[in-house]
C-alpha cells in the first residue's frame, strides 16, 4: 500500500502545524486579556470582582490546558486548510475538553473568588478566535505560499501504478505549492522507454491533464533546461538497481531525490529513515513510535496511579482486611505475566479465590467458557464470596496500580497474558505484545469476557494501529460506567 506522506503531507504539515500551534498560543493569551477587559468594562456591577493580580494564574493554566489538549487531540499533526470539518471541528473538540478541564481545575483548587462569568467569556472568545484563525489561514494560505515560498516542481520517474498514484496526490495538492513537471521512464535494459519526449494523456494516466513523458537518458539535459526541484523514483526493485548513475546525477545537480519503497514486503508497517551515526537505516514499524507521546503516556500513568493509590488507600485497606478475615491465604495474588515485548513481570491482584485454587484449574478445564488459550468461568466455584463481589466490579484489579507505578503496565493497553497463553498464540497475535499492557482496552467496551478470543486479539491490534492519547482517554472514560455497572465481568 502506498504511504500517503509526500512532501505535501510530512514536512509541510510539521511546519504548518508549528505555525498553527504558535497561533493558538497567541489566541489563548489574547483571549485571557480580552476576557478580563470585557468583565471589568462591560459587566462591572455583576457581583464583586477581584483585581487582575488574582487572575495571573489563569494565563499559564489556560495555556497549558488548551495547548496540551490540542496536542493530545492531534490537531497539529495533519493540517488540511481546505477541509471545513477540521476548520470547525478541531477547535470545537479542543475547547469542549479544555473548558471542562479548566472548570474542574478551578473547582479542585477551590478558588472561590474566581468569576465564572470571566471564565465563560474566555472560553467563548478562545473558541471563536481559534475558528477565526483557521478561517483566515484558509483564505490567506495561497497568498502566503506565493510570498514566502516558490512552487516546487516534481518529476516522477516511472510509469508504475504507484507512480501514477503519486502524480494524483501531487495534482490534488497543487494549492499547497507543488506541481507535477512530468514523467521520466526507462526500458527494461536501461534504454529509453520512448524515443523522445512525448505526452502522457489523461486517458492513459487517469490524471486531469496531459504531462510530458521524457526518456530517462535525457535527465541531465532535462535538469538543465527545466526547473526541477525534486525527483521521485517510483520504480520496481529491478529497475532501481540500474539507476545508480541517475542517483549520482541528481546528487551532483543538487536535486532532492525520493524513493518509493512499496516494493519491500510490508503491509501495515510505518516506514521512516533513521541514522546510526552516518549510516542510513530504513525502518519499518507496526507499533507507535512517537517517543514524546509515549513519554507523555508514561508520565500521565505514573501521576494518575500514584494519586489513585493515595486516594484509594482506605478502600485498599478495607478490602485487604475483608480478604484476610474471610478466608485463609495471602491478601495479594501474584502471577507471572508477559509484558512489553514478552518481558516477564509479576502481576498483583487481590486474592479472590480459595488458597489452593490454582491446583483445581486442570479439573475445571472442561467448564472453560472462552475459546483459544484463555481460561475463564463465569461463576468460578473457586471464588470466595468476597472475591466474587470484587471481581464483579473489578476491585481485585486495584493492586495493579503498583504495576503501573513500576512501569510494567499502563492504564490502557492490551491485557498482559500468561506465558502459557502466549505459547499458543498464532504469529499475527504476537504483535499485541509490542505495546505496554494495560488495565483496560477496546475489548472492555465490547463485552469484556463475552468476546471470543480472535475478536479480542483483533481489538488489541486495532488499538495498537490507531493509538493516540485521545483514544486512551476515550477508552478510560467509557470504561468507568462499564466497571461501575459490572457489565461483562466474571
- For 357-383, how does the pLDDT look when each residue is reduced to its tens digit (9 = 90+)? 776 777 776 666 666 676 677 777 788
Instruction: Name the pLDDT band for 394 (thresholds 50, 70, 90).
Output: confident
Q: Is it the case that residue 58 has pLDDT exceeding 70?
A: yes
> Which range, 125-134, 259-268, 450-459, has the best average confidence (pLDDT)?
125-134
Per residue in 66-98, pLDDT (tens digit) is 999 988 888 887 676 666 777 888 899 899 999
Percent of the chain with pLDDT over 70: 80
Q: Is it the case that residue 418 has pLDDT exceeding 80?
A: yes
* Residue 150 CB contacts under 8 Å (≥ 6 apart), including other chains: 177
* Residue 335 CB contacts under 8 Å (≥ 6 apart), including other chains: 346, 347, 349, 418
SS3 305: helix
According to DSSP, residue 467 is labeled -
The full set of domains in the chain, from first to last, is 11-148 (no CATH), 152-285 (3.40.50.1980), 291-484 (no CATH)
d(CA 26, CA 59): 11
Kind and range of the H or E run holding 464: helix 453-465
Distance from the Cα of residue 134 to its chain's centroid:
23
Rounded to two decimals, the pTM is 0.61
> Phi and psi dihedrals of 227, rounded to 5?
-85, 110
Within a 13 Å sphere around the CA of 152, how many CA atoms are in the beta-carbon half?
21
Q: What is the pLDDT of residue 284?
A: 73
Beta pairing class for 198-200 and 270-276: unpaired
Q: Where are the alpha helices (DSSP H) in 43-115?
A: 58-73, 84-108
Dihedral (CA of 127, 132, 138, 140) sign: negative
d(CA 91, CA 66): 10
Percent of the chain with pLDDT over 90: 26
Lowest-pLDDT choice from 122-126, 336-340, 361-365: 361-365
Instruction: Name the pLDDT band for 190 (thresholds 50, 70, 90).
Output: very low
Q: What is the pLDDT of residue 333?
A: 92
Averaged pLDDT score across all residues of the chain: 81
Q: Is it the case that residue 11 has pLDDT exceeding 70?
A: no
Amino acid at each position: 500500500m502506498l504511504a500517503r506522506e509526500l512532501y505535501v503531507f510530512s514536512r509541510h504539515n510539521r511546519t504548518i502545524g508549528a505555525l498553527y500551534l504558535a497561533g493558538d498560543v497567541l489566541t489563548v493569551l489574547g483571549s485571557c486579556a480580552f476576557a478580563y477587559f470585557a468583565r471589568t468594562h462591560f459587566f462591572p456591577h455583576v457581583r464583586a470582582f477581584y483585581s487582575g493580580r488574582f487572575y495571573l494564574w489563569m494565563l499559564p493554566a489556560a495555556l497549558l490546558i488548551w495547548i496540551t489538549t490540542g496536542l493530545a487531540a492531534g490537531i497539529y499533526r495533519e493540517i488540511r486548510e481546505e477541509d471545513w470539518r477540521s476548520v470547525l471541528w478541531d477547535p470545537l473538540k479542543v475547547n469542549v475538553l479544555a473548558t471542562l478541564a479548566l472548570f474542574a481545575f478551578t473547582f479542585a483548587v477551590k478558588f472561590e473568588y474566581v468569576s465564572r462569568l470571566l471564565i465563560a467569556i474566555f472560553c467563548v472568545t478562545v473558541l471563536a478566535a481559534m475558528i477565526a484563525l483557521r478561517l483566515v489561514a484558509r483564505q490567506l494560505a495561497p497568498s502566503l505560499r506565493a510570498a514566502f515560498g516558490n512552487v516546487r516542481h516534481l518529476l516522477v520517474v516511472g510509469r508504475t501504478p504507484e507512480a501514477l498514484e503519486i502524480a494524483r496526490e501531487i495534482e490534488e495538492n497543487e494549492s499547497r505549492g507543488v506541481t507535477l513537471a512530468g514523467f521520466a521512464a526507462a526500458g527494461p535494459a536501461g534504454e529509453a522507454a520512448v524515443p523522445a519526449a512525448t505526452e502522457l494523456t489523461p486517458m492513459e494516466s487517469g490524471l486531469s491533464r496531459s504531462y510530458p513523458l521524457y526518456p530517462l537518458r535525457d535527465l541531465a539535459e532535462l535538469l538543465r533546461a527545466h526547473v526541477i526541484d525534486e525527483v521521485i523514483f517510483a520504480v520496481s526493485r529491478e529497475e532501481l538497481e540500474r539507476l545508480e548513475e541517475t542517483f549520482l546525477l541528481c546528487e551532483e545537480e543538487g536535486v532532492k531525490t525520493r524513493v518509493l519503497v512499496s516494493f519491500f514486503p510490508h503491509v501495515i508497517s510505518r516506514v521512516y529513515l533513521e541514522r546510526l551515526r552516518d549510516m542510513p537505516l530504513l525502518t519499518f514499524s507496526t507499533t507507535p513510535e512517537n517517543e514524546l507521546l509515549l513519554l507523555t503516556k508514561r508520565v500521565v500513568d505514573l501521576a494518575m496511579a500514584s494519586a489513585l493509590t493515595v486516594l484509594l488507600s482506605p478502600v485498599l485497606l478495607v478490602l485487604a482486611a475483608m480478604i484476610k478475615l474471610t478466608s485463609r491465604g495471602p491478601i495479594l495474588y501474584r502471577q507471572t505475566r508477559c509484558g512489553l515485548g514478552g518481558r516477564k513481570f509479576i502481576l498483583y491482584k487481590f486474592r479472590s479465590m480459595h488458597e489452593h485454587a490454582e491446583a483445581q484449574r486442570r479439573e475445571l478445564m472442561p467448564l472453560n467458557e472462552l475459546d483459544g488459550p484463555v481460561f475463564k468461568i463465569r461463576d468460578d466455584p473457586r471464588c470466595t464470596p468476597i472475591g466474587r463481589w470484587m471481581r464483579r466490579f473489578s476491585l481485585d484489579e486495584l493492586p495493579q496500580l503498583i504495576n503501573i507505578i513500576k512501569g510494567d503496565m499502563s492504564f490502557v493497553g492490551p491485557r498482559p497474558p500468561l506465558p502459557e497463553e502466549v505459547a499458543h498464540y498464532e504469529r499475527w497475535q504476537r504483535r499485541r505484545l509490542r505495546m505496554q499492557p494495560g488495565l483496560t482496552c477496546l475489548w472492555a467496551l465490547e463485552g469484556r469476557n463475552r468476546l471470543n478470543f480472535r475478536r479480542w486479539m483483533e481489538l488489541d491490534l486495532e488499538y495498537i494501529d490507531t493509538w493516540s492519547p485521545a483514544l486512551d482517554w476515550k477508552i478510560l472514560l467509557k470504561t468507568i460506567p462499564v466497571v461501575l455497572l459490572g457489565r461483562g465481568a466474571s
